[in-house]
Amino acid sequence: MGSPSTVALVKSMNNQYYGDDAVNAAARYYGFKGPISTIARHVIHEEGFVAGEYDDHKGIPTFGVGVAREELKGKNFFTEVLPEYEEQARRATKGYATLPEETQAAIVSMAYRGDWGKKTRAKLNKGDLKGAAKEYLDHGEYRKGKGRNATPEEQAVAQRMERNAKALLEAS
Domains and CATH numbers, the chain: 16-171 (1.10.530)
pLDDT higher than threshold 60 for residue 139:
yes
The CA–CA distances, whole Å, from 168 to 49, 102, 105 equal 25, 9, 10
pTM over cut 0.85: yes
For the sheet containing 16-17, what is the strand order?
Answer: 16-17, 49-55, 61-64
5-63: pLDDT as tens digits: 333 333 343 689 999 999 999 999 999 999 999 999 999 999 999 999 999 888 999 99
What's the pLDDT score for residue 15? 86
What's the pLDDT score for residue 14? 62
What's the pLDDT score for residue 27? 98
Rounded to whole angstroms, the Cα distance separating 120 from 10 reads: 33
Mean pLDDT of 138-163: 96
Q: Which amino acid is at 87?
A: E
What's the pLDDT score for residue 5? 37
Q: Burial level of 48, CB count in 10 A (0-12/13-18/19+)?
A: buried
> Are the CB atoms for 145 and 161 separated by under 8 Å?
yes
